[in-house]
Structure 1
Amino acid sequence: MQALYDVPAPAKLNLFLHVIGKRPDGYHLLESIFALIDWADTLHFERRGDGLLQRHDSEGANLPPDDLCLRAARALQQASGCGFGADIHIDKRLPAGAGMGGGSSDAASTLLALNRLWGLDWSLQKLKELGLSLGADVPFFLGGTHAFVEGIGEILHPVTLPEQRFAVVKPAASIATKEIFSSSLLAMSKSVAIVAGFPAHNSSENKTVDVTRYLDGFGKNDLQKAAEAASDDVVQALELLETKFGNSRMTGSGSAVFARVVQENGKSDPAMATMLQEAIPAGWQGRICRSLEHHPLKGWARD
């Protein structure tokens, strides 16, 4: 049994995000396409025999003392009754408070890595059930593919996407998710189940859906107006991408925004990345990203 692993934890973008209702417990019902991209954290795990779980951060990571990564490790250890522990090193590259799922992705990669490191051989479904108790986005990152997402994020339908290139910008400001969902400017949409090719709302069927023809200008982010009202940074970032790339949209509850990039004038990704870096204000983060074919850890847990 291998005693250490280095694993990636990639980000996601919401290609659209519609709020279609609200549950009695206050959670909003969503429909979205989550797309995996190549902006990622890297996590290093070494098995310990004494049962201790210790996190060691890269310089400047500025993570809370009990983040989702440690909570995931503790939850798996307790649920499995495993006597092993782990030293966990996080090379934090994904910005916090971005709506890109960084914490949830770290948690999912932690579950997948420790499942192997500790020799547990839990099934993917069992890991998803544990992951959902940690956060609504965790099952998506465990699933391994782009997905059409329903419910509060726990109902996943794998989707196929052609390779996409995105300019992604994270302003300095971060926005509390609770603030956005409680805003009077929160928009509501009809279910996209009426669009041919998407599954019926709350369907348990887990089928692959080809959404290629819906990528150009389809949908919106129902949280965006509330975020724009809460942060001038979001407005500025959206305007910047609209000017540079002709389109822009916020991901998740913000504050990161993105634009689909169509290669023009033979510009390479490095050249476009330099252009983006020169355009954004100091203290912001920006990258030219590509969509992934699938999650790098797909297949790490048995079906």
Structure 2
Amino acid sequence: MTTLTLPAPAKLNLFLHITGQRSDGYHELQTLFQFIDVCDQLSFTLTDDDQIALTPAIAGVAFESNLIVKAARLLEPYKSATSGVSIQLKKVLPMGGGIGGGSSDAATTLLALNQLWQCQLPLDKLAELGKTLGADVPIFVFGHAAYAEGIGEKLTQTTPETPYYVLLKPNCEVPTVQIFTDKYLTRDTPAIRISHALKLDGHNDCLEVVRRLYPEVDDAFIWLSQFGEAKLTGTGACLFMACSSKEEAERVKAAVPEKWQTWVCHGCNTSPAHDALNQWIAAQH
């Protein structure tokens, strides 16, 4: 049977400004998304039945609530193939880390099954479907570093620098909803132009709220700040720091206390999922 294996990369918010709140409760924001080469891995194997199977199950997440399954369900009405799919997930990205693991898994599922089920949907349509699963899904569907506005859906492709980063995960999960509903969250940061964004003049408006609510993040932020400019990605819990070289990143990683998960990773302006999918498509022809 046909199998397609693709990565689902993490993302970093190089900055995150909250510029307002809409009447429906959603926040207006400005942010700069970049991928990193730390990834989950998903393998999709076509099956003779019309079922969707996913292994292993994720603890605490019901099958139909899993974004991978939801993404597959969204494509069922469009499939030309009569086959089902068996999906194997190799989970690397931590949940509640602000690096978009669930959204990336959903996007990789849309990209893979669009090919395997011969749905022939353009990226715009896949992104539109993906947006119903989460505001970050379209960035992974389009697969290019981008400056985002609105609620994160207005994307402009960008090419920020691609340094090596140290990525650090404190021992906690931060629910996005908790941060966005906190009364102390700054919601009136003045909007900036994309030229300023690319100079990385920004900050993360969620940082102070997360540090106050999660002492573990505060500890890790203070620790990482002794080596350079520590930043929070998304609503956290993950922190990251750009380094001048891979060697510098390795040195910082070697000093990280054992209680925290840590990675050395490289910034990517095109998604590893798209790179792998394009290689697979080329090999089919």
Q: Identify the structure with the greater helix proportion.
A: 2
- The answer to whether the 8 Å contact 2:81/2:118 transfers is no
Q: In structure 2, how many angstroms separate the alpha carbons of the residues matched to 1:71 and 1:81?
A: 19
**Greater mean alpha carbon deviation, residues 108-117 or residues 293-302:** 293-302
Q: Aligned letter for 1:153? A: G
Q: Which residue of 2 aligns with 1:139?
A: 138
Q: In structure 2, how many angstroms separate the alpha carbons of the residues matched to 1:290 and 1:253?
A: 21
The answer to whether residue 220 in structure 2 is matched with residue 237 in structure 1 is yes
- The answer to whether the 8 Å contact 2:80/2:117 transfers is no
Helix, strand or coil at the partner of 2:167: strand
Shift of 1:162: 2.3
Q: In structure 1, how many angstroms separate the alpha carbons of the residues matched to 2:115 and 2:6?
A: 12
- The answer to whether the 8 Å contact 1:238/1:257 transfers is yes
Q: Kindly tell me: are residues 268 and 249 of structure 1, through their superposed partners in 2, closer, same or farther at Cα, counting changes over 3 Å?
A: closer
Which residue of the other structure, out of 244, 267, 273, is the alignment partner of 2:247? Answer: 267
Q: Which residue of 2 aligns with 1:257?
A: 239
Q: In structure 2, how many angstroms separate the alpha carbons of the residues matched to 1:112 and 1:150?
A: 23
Q: Aligned letter for 2:261? A: Q
Q: Which residue of 2 aligns with 1:297?
A: 273
Q: Which residue of 1 aligns with 2:49?
A: 50
Q: Kindly tell me: are residues 297 and 287 of structure 1, through their superposed partners in 2, closer, same or farther at Cα, counting changes over 3 Å?
A: closer
Q: In structure 1, how many angstroms separate the alpha carbons of the residues matched to 2:30 and 2:132?
A: 20
When normalised by structure 2's length, the TM-score is 0.90
Deviations 1:132-181 (A, max 9, x none): 11111000001111000111111110001222111110111111111101
Q: Which residue of 1 aligns with 2:163?
A: 164
Q: Aligned letter for 2:244? A: V
**How does 1:64-213 map onto structure 2 within 5 Å?**
64-66=61-63, 67-80=66-79, 83-188=82-187, 189-193=189-193, 196=195, 211=198
Q: In structure 1, how many angstroms separate the alpha carbons of the residues matched to 2:172 and 2:139?
A: 26
Shift of 1:49: 2.5
Helix, strand or coil at the partner of 2:94: coil
Shift of 1:24: 1.1
Shift of 1:249: 1.0
**What residue ranges of structure 1 are gaps of 5+ in the alignment?**
199-210
Q: Kindly tell me: are residues 53 and 277 of structure 1, through their superposed partners in 2, closer, same or farther at Cα, counting changes over 3 Å?
A: farther
Helix, strand or coil at the partner of 2:272: coil
Q: Aligned letter for 2:62? A: P
When normalised by structure 1's length, the TM-score is 0.85
How many residue pairs were aligned? 275
Q: Aligned letter for 1:229? A: R
Which residue of the other structure, out of 228, 247, 265, is the alignment partner of 2:211? Answer: 228
Q: Which residue of 1 aligns with 2:28?
A: 29
Shift of 1:267: 3.1
Q: In structure 1, how many angstroms separate the alpha carbons of the residues matched to 2:234 and 2:121?
A: 30
Q: In structure 2, how many angstroms separate the alpha carbons of the residues matched to 1:196 and 1:124?
A: 26
Shift of 1:187: 1.2
Q: Aligned letter for 1:291? A: G
Helix, strand or coil at the partner of 1:160: coil
Q: Which residue of 2 aligns with 1:280?
A: 257
Q: Kindly tell me: are residues 25 and 268 of structure 1, through their superposed partners in 2, closer, same or farther at Cα, counting changes over 3 Å?
A: closer
